[in-house]
Amino acid sequence: MSDPTTTRIHGLTTAEIELLGERSAAAKELSYSPYSHFRVGCAVLCEGGEIVLGANIENASYPVTICAERTALSRARLEGRTTFRALAVSTDISPPGKMRRLGSICEFCRLDTPVFMFDKTGDYKVLTLEQLLPMSFGPDHLKKVEQGGQ
Ligand code: THU
Protein backbone atom coordinates (compact mmCIF):
# COMPACT_ATOMS: atom_id res chain seq x y z
CA MET A 1 0.00 0.00 0.00
CA SER A 2 1.17 3.58 -0.65
CA ASP A 3 2.63 5.48 2.30
CA PRO A 4 0.26 8.38 3.19
CA THR A 5 3.15 10.53 4.43
CA THR A 6 5.28 10.34 1.26
CA THR A 7 2.92 9.76 -1.69
CA ARG A 8 2.18 13.16 -3.22
CA ILE A 9 -0.63 14.48 -5.43
CA HIS A 10 0.01 17.99 -6.72
CA GLY A 11 2.65 18.31 -3.99
CA LEU A 12 0.30 17.27 -1.17
CA THR A 13 0.61 14.11 0.89
CA THR A 14 -2.46 11.89 1.02
CA ALA A 15 -2.64 12.71 4.74
CA GLU A 16 -2.84 16.44 3.90
CA ILE A 17 -5.56 15.74 1.31
CA GLU A 18 -7.51 13.70 3.83
CA LEU A 19 -7.24 16.55 6.33
CA LEU A 20 -8.47 19.04 3.71
CA GLY A 21 -11.45 16.75 3.06
CA GLU A 22 -12.26 16.64 6.78
CA ARG A 23 -11.83 20.37 7.32
CA SER A 24 -13.83 21.43 4.25
CA ALA A 25 -16.63 19.05 5.34
CA ALA A 26 -16.53 20.66 8.80
CA ALA A 27 -16.66 24.11 7.16
CA LYS A 28 -19.77 23.02 5.27
CA GLU A 29 -21.57 22.77 8.62
CA LEU A 30 -21.05 26.54 9.00
CA SER A 31 -22.82 27.30 5.72
CA TYR A 32 -25.68 29.81 5.92
CA SER A 33 -27.80 28.75 2.96
CA PRO A 34 -31.50 29.06 3.85
CA TYR A 35 -32.41 30.00 0.24
CA SER A 36 -30.61 27.47 -1.93
CA HIS A 37 -30.15 24.76 0.74
CA PHE A 38 -26.90 24.08 -1.10
CA ARG A 39 -24.15 23.92 1.51
CA VAL A 40 -20.56 24.54 0.48
CA GLY A 41 -17.52 24.41 2.75
CA CYS A 42 -14.03 25.47 1.79
CA ALA A 43 -10.62 24.81 3.32
CA VAL A 44 -7.55 26.69 2.10
CA LEU A 45 -4.13 25.22 2.79
CA CYS A 46 -1.74 28.14 3.31
CA GLU A 47 1.98 28.06 2.59
CA GLY A 48 2.91 27.70 6.28
CA GLY A 49 0.59 24.71 6.69
CA GLU A 50 -2.31 26.53 8.36
CA ILE A 51 -5.80 25.70 7.11
CA VAL A 52 -8.36 28.51 6.89
CA LEU A 53 -12.05 27.69 6.54
CA GLY A 54 -14.93 29.36 4.74
CA ALA A 55 -18.55 28.59 3.85
CA ASN A 56 -21.20 30.11 1.61
CA ILE A 57 -23.12 32.90 3.32
CA GLU A 58 -26.38 33.70 1.55
CA ASN A 59 -28.53 36.80 1.64
CA ALA A 60 -32.24 37.51 1.11
CA SER A 61 -31.01 39.78 -1.64
CA TYR A 62 -29.56 36.86 -3.61
CA PRO A 63 -26.65 38.55 -5.43
CA VAL A 64 -25.21 39.64 -2.10
CA THR A 65 -24.48 35.97 -1.34
CA ILE A 66 -20.82 35.18 -0.80
CA CYS A 67 -19.46 31.85 -2.01
CA ALA A 68 -17.43 29.54 0.21
CA GLU A 69 -14.16 30.02 -1.70
CA ARG A 70 -14.48 33.77 -1.34
CA THR A 71 -15.15 33.76 2.40
CA ALA A 72 -12.21 31.41 3.00
CA LEU A 73 -9.73 33.35 0.85
CA SER A 74 -10.87 36.72 2.23
CA ARG A 75 -10.46 35.45 5.75
CA ALA A 76 -7.04 34.00 4.94
CA ARG A 77 -5.92 37.32 3.46
CA LEU A 78 -7.18 39.21 6.50
CA GLU A 79 -5.18 36.85 8.70
CA GLY A 80 -2.07 37.80 6.73
CA ARG A 81 -1.79 34.71 4.50
CA THR A 82 -0.82 35.51 0.94
CA THR A 83 0.40 32.22 -0.54
CA PHE A 84 -1.80 29.18 -0.89
CA ARG A 85 -0.80 25.60 -1.65
CA ALA A 86 -4.24 24.13 -2.28
CA LEU A 87 -7.93 24.68 -1.90
CA ALA A 88 -10.68 22.17 -1.08
CA VAL A 89 -14.44 22.45 -1.30
CA SER A 90 -17.09 20.09 0.07
CA THR A 91 -20.73 19.89 -0.96
CA ASP A 92 -23.66 17.55 -0.22
CA ILE A 93 -23.81 16.16 -3.74
CA SER A 94 -22.22 13.23 -5.54
CA PRO A 95 -20.22 12.69 -7.66
CA PRO A 96 -17.74 15.43 -6.81
CA GLY A 97 -16.78 18.26 -9.11
CA LYS A 98 -19.62 20.76 -9.29
CA MET A 99 -17.89 23.90 -8.23
CA ARG A 100 -17.31 26.87 -10.48
CA ARG A 101 -17.02 30.09 -8.50
CA LEU A 102 -13.48 30.60 -9.59
CA GLY A 103 -13.00 34.36 -9.82
CA SER A 104 -12.03 34.73 -6.18
CA ILE A 105 -9.55 31.86 -6.50
CA CYS A 106 -7.93 33.37 -9.62
CA GLU A 107 -7.27 36.58 -7.72
CA PHE A 108 -5.11 34.97 -5.04
CA CYS A 109 -3.84 31.61 -6.30
CA ARG A 110 -1.35 30.53 -8.94
CA LEU A 111 -2.77 28.77 -11.96
CA ASP A 112 -1.11 25.49 -10.92
CA THR A 113 -2.88 25.50 -7.53
CA PRO A 114 -4.77 22.23 -7.09
CA VAL A 115 -8.47 22.49 -6.28
CA PHE A 116 -9.80 19.38 -4.51
CA MET A 117 -13.57 18.92 -4.91
CA PHE A 118 -15.05 16.60 -2.30
CA ASP A 119 -18.53 15.10 -2.46
CA LYS A 120 -20.78 14.03 0.40
CA THR A 121 -19.05 10.65 0.66
CA GLY A 122 -15.55 12.11 0.87
CA ASP A 123 -14.61 11.11 -2.69
CA TYR A 124 -12.82 13.83 -4.57
CA LYS A 125 -11.76 15.04 -7.99
CA VAL A 126 -8.77 17.31 -8.32
CA LEU A 127 -7.94 19.76 -11.09
CA THR A 128 -5.61 22.71 -11.17
CA LEU A 129 -7.05 26.18 -11.38
CA GLU A 130 -5.83 26.42 -14.97
CA GLN A 131 -7.59 23.15 -15.90
CA LEU A 132 -10.81 24.43 -14.30
CA LEU A 133 -10.64 27.80 -15.94
CA PRO A 134 -8.45 27.93 -19.05
CA MET A 135 -7.60 31.38 -20.40
CA SER A 136 -8.73 33.02 -17.17
CA PHE A 137 -8.58 36.72 -16.45
CA GLY A 138 -6.56 37.72 -13.41
CA PRO A 139 -4.41 40.39 -11.76
CA ASP A 140 -1.46 39.77 -14.13
CA HIS A 141 -3.51 40.96 -17.10
CA LEU A 142 -4.13 44.33 -15.49
CA LYS A 143 -0.42 44.65 -14.70
CA LYS A 144 0.30 44.11 -18.41
CA VAL A 145 -2.13 46.90 -19.36
CA GLU A 146 -0.42 49.24 -16.86
CA GLN A 147 2.92 48.34 -18.45
CA GLY A 148 1.61 49.04 -21.94
CA GLY A 149 1.56 45.37 -23.00
CA GLN A 150 -1.33 43.18 -24.25
N1 THU B 1 -21.63 28.19 -4.14
C2 THU B 1 -20.39 28.29 -3.59
O3 THU B 1 -20.24 28.72 -2.43
N4 THU B 1 -19.32 27.89 -4.34
C5 THU B 1 -19.40 27.34 -5.59
O6 THU B 1 -18.38 27.04 -6.20
C7 THU B 1 -20.72 27.11 -6.20
C8 THU B 1 -21.89 27.74 -5.51
C9 THU B 1 -22.80 28.57 -3.31
C10 THU B 1 -23.39 29.93 -3.62
C11 THU B 1 -24.83 29.74 -3.15
O12 THU B 1 -24.90 30.02 -1.77
C13 THU B 1 -25.10 28.26 -3.35
O14 THU B 1 -23.84 27.64 -3.48
C15 THU B 1 -25.99 27.94 -4.54
O16 THU B 1 -25.53 28.58 -5.68
pLDDT tier at 144, thresholds 50, 70, 90: confident
How far, in Å, is the centroid of ligand 1 from the Cα of 119? 14
Reported as a single tens digit per residue, the pLDDT across 76-124 is: 999 999 999 999 999 999 998 877 778 788 899 999 999 999 999 999 9
- How high is the pLDDT of residue 47? 96
Is the confidence at residue 142, as pLDDT, over 90? no
- The whole-number average pLDDT for the span 21-25 is 98
Surface-to-core class of residue 115, CB atoms within 10 Å of its CB (0-12 exposed, 13-18 middle, 19+ buried): buried
Atom of ligand 1 nearest to the CA of 101: 6
**Ligand 1: centre distance to CA 83 (Å):** 23
3-state secondary structure the chain: CCCCCCCEECCEEHHHHHHHHHHHHHHHCCCECCCCCCCCEEEEEECCCCEEEEECECCCCHHHCECHHHHHHHHHHHCCCCCEEEEEEECCCCCCCCCCCCHHHHHHCCCCCEEEEECCCCCEEEEEHHHHCCCCCCHHHHHHHHCCCC
Query: Domains of the chain, with CATH numbers?
Result: 8-132 (3.40.140.10)
Average pLDDT over the chain, rounded to whole? Answer: 91
pLDDT band for 140, please (50, 70, 90 cuts). Answer: confident
Beta 84-90 vs 51-55: how paired, if at all?
unpaired
Q: Is the CB of 105 under 6 A from ligand 1?
A: no
Indicate the pLDDT class of residue 75, thresholds 50, 70 and 90.
very high
Active centre residues (catalytic): 69
The count of residues in the chain is 150
